[in-house]
Chains A and B, each alone.
Chain A
């Protein structure tokens, strides 16, 4: 879970000055409630974000993604563990100067337009002279031009998320925590936001993206964390997770018992081929008595990885 492969407290290339990771969390625990109502939402998560890295956080509903992001953003105190944003504690103005947070269900002050909301929040980043420019930059980056004069409280869910993204990009933010920012966006907006995030990352911003949109995470994230019951049950580079080949076989009839190494699908079974040839894998099917009608090979998707990680009974629930 450490994620120390890139950037975490290392040494600057060609020098001796230590590099501070944009975001570093160690063994973070956050609970809610007491006694029999006690719920451990985050149970010992550690992670490090490197500059320019986009990391995806995926998991089932209630896995602890939102709580984790709120702890990292300094909106909730952890009960255990430490969080540092560019070396600063997360609930401090110094941390929030570099950290932007777009919440899952953003609430905006009623009675203000989109531009006014951004100008109000931009006042925390810029002097009076720079407020308007900062707000206009956020409007442009988040693609909010056509709703800039609309009341924020009356926006649709998709526009509200884009406004949440816009306010997260105010100022000189180098770390973005995005909670379900891609949910509810139309395909054009979704693509635009994805391209914007990729551009920000290319410019050196570290992005932690929590999402159920696995296709987008697959496309954007260099690394993926799979959360289950507040614990990271799988963490790997996206390229490592997706490199494997999967053989899907369509069956004449479903076997009563799923053979070892196979997974059930809607129309039959599938298995990871790995280094094996397709012919050898089909021969294995025939040897196990699986009545193969047709087959195709595809690359493993993030959805396969997540479903597998979340469905594994050996991992914590």
Chain B
């Protein structure tokens, strides 16, 4: 399975991307904008903002560190070394989740330093950010190895534009039909802001959903990688 050396190498890869590509710039911009808005608006619900940051940073990481043609082609070289597809997927997931979790943690830390959060709210926000980052890393990795940047970009746009709408609100605002049903299914199934903002409150359904995306995403990504031999 995954070793410390492998995990260190994957984290190093993500750090290199953050330093040498726009990943670092975009992640910092996302962190700065979300944190500034939260402070300006006096937001006390860090679970909401931290889960959003965890989700978006995890997906951006997947886009920049796993989805390009070159990244996917480079997996062939890794597969010629003593490592299983599951270990490769687990290592990349862990590095992406760590990126998202770090961004969310920094956000919570800054809010805590400004006095906007109490210790309990900070801990809840931190947990929400880490949970959302894990789910985003699983979903993003899966999308990256299945459809590359196009699919990750689509998932990112969905999270930003639509995933804040809960399915029960969706079925009220959309007329009955295929669109309403499909939309509700998508909102229930994919990682979304409406669900993961509940992570901070310890909602079991939200944690199960995030866990399923983290574990399922790694499993599907490993299956996709192993399927390249066929």
The interface residues of chain B lying within 8 Å CB-to-CB of A55 are none
Interface-forming stretch among B10-18, B28-36, B141-149? B10-18
The interface residues of chain A lying within 8 Å CB-to-CB of B4 are 127-128
| Interchain nearest-CB distance for B176 vs A (Å) | 42
Interface-forming stretch among A2-10, A98-106, A184-192, A296-304? A98-106
Q: Are A123 and B71 in contact (CB under 8 A)?
A: no
A74 within 8 A of B: yes
Interface of B, secondary structure class, is helix
Q: Are A106 and B77 in contact (CB under 8 A)?
A: yes
Known: A107-B70, A109-B70, A111-B21. A75 touches B5 (CB 8 A): no
Give the residue name and chain of the A residue nearest to B79 (CB).
Answer: A75
Give residues of chain B (1-46) contacting chain A, Cβ–Cβ below 8 Å.
3-6, 8-10, 12-13, 16-17, 20-21
A73 within 8 A of B: yes
Q: Are B16 and A101 in contact (CB under 8 A)?
A: no
Known: A91-B229, A120-B12. A107 touches B73 (CB 8 A): yes
CA distance A121 to B82 in the complex (A): 9
CA distance A77 to B227 in the complex (A): 10
B175 within 8 A of A: no
Give residues of chain A (162-207) contacting chain B, Cβ–Cβ below 8 Å.
164, 167-168, 170-171
CA distance A153 to B10 in the complex (A): 18
Encoded as 1 (CB less than 8 Å from any B CB) or 0, chain A from 120 to 136 comes to 11111111100100000
Q: Are A110 and B82 in contact (CB under 8 A)?
A: no
The interface residues of chain A lying within 8 Å CB-to-CB of B228 are 75
CA distance A93 to B1 in the complex (A): 10
B68 within 8 A of A: yes
The interface residues of chain A lying within 8 Å CB-to-CB of B12 are 116, 119-120
B157 within 8 A of A: no
The interface residues of chain A lying within 8 Å CB-to-CB of B173 are none
| Interchain nearest-CB distance for B65 vs A (Å) | 9
A96 within 8 A of B: yes
B150 within 8 A of A: no
The interface residues of chain B lying within 8 Å CB-to-CB of A170 are 81
Q: Are A124 and B74 in contact (CB under 8 A)?
A: no
For chain A, the count of residues having a C-beta within 8 Å of the partner chain is 39
The interface residues of chain A lying within 8 Å CB-to-CB of B16 are 111-112, 116
Q: Are A101 and B80 in contact (CB under 8 A)?
A: yes
Q: Are A111 and B17 in contact (CB under 8 A)?
A: yes
CA distance A97 to B5 in the complex (A): 16
Known: A96-B81, A123-B5, A123-B8. A107 touches B229 (CB 8 A): no
Q: Are B71 and A109 in contact (CB under 8 A)?
A: yes
Q: Are A107 and B77 in contact (CB under 8 A)?
A: yes
The interface residues of chain A lying within 8 Å CB-to-CB of B79 are 74-75
Give residues of chain B (82-121) contacting chain A, Cβ–Cβ below 8 Å.
82-84
A76 within 8 A of B: yes
Q: Are B73 and A97 in contact (CB under 8 A)?
A: no
The interface residues of chain A lying within 8 Å CB-to-CB of B208 are none
CA distance A74 to B5 in the complex (A): 23
Of the residues A77, A93, A103, contact of B77 by C-beta under 8 Å: A103
CA distance A91 to B228 in the complex (A): 11
Give the residue name and chain of the A residue nearest to B19 (CB).
Answer: A111
A94 within 8 A of B: yes
The interface residues of chain A lying within 8 Å CB-to-CB of B81 are 96, 121, 124-125, 167, 170-171
Q: Are A131 and B83 in contact (CB under 8 A)?
A: no
Q: Are A124 and B70 in contact (CB under 8 A)?
A: no
Q: Are A121 and B229 in contact (CB under 8 A)?
A: no
Known: A123-B9, A153-B70. A108 touches B77 (CB 8 A): yes
CA distance A212 to B26 in the complex (A): 46
B76 within 8 A of A: yes
Give the residue name and chain of the B residue nearest to A76 (CB).
Answer: B229
CA distance A108 to B20 in the complex (A): 15
CA distance A106 to B81 in the complex (A): 14
| Interchain nearest-CB distance for A298 vs B (Å) | 41
Closest 9 CB pairs of A and B: A107-B73, A93-B82, A123-B9, A123-B5, A124-B81, A101-B80, A96-B82, A120-B9, A109-B74
**Residue ranges of B at the interface with A (Cβ–Cβ < 8 Å):** 3-6, 8-10, 12-13, 16-17, 20-21, 68, 70-71, 73-74, 76-84, 228-230
16 A-B pairs, CB-CB below 8 angstroms? A77-B229, A91-B229, A94-B82, A106-B77, A108-B77, A110-B21, A111-B20, A112-B16, A116-B16, A120-B9, A120-B13, A121-B81, A123-B6, A124-B83, A127-B3, A168-B80
**A-B contacts besides A76-B229, A103-B77, A119-B9, 19 pairs, CB < 8 Å:** A75-B228, A75-B229, A91-B229, A101-B80, A107-B70, A107-B73, A108-B77, A109-B13, A110-B74, A111-B20, A116-B12, A120-B10, A123-B6, A123-B9, A126-B5, A131-B9, A168-B80, A170-B81, A171-B82
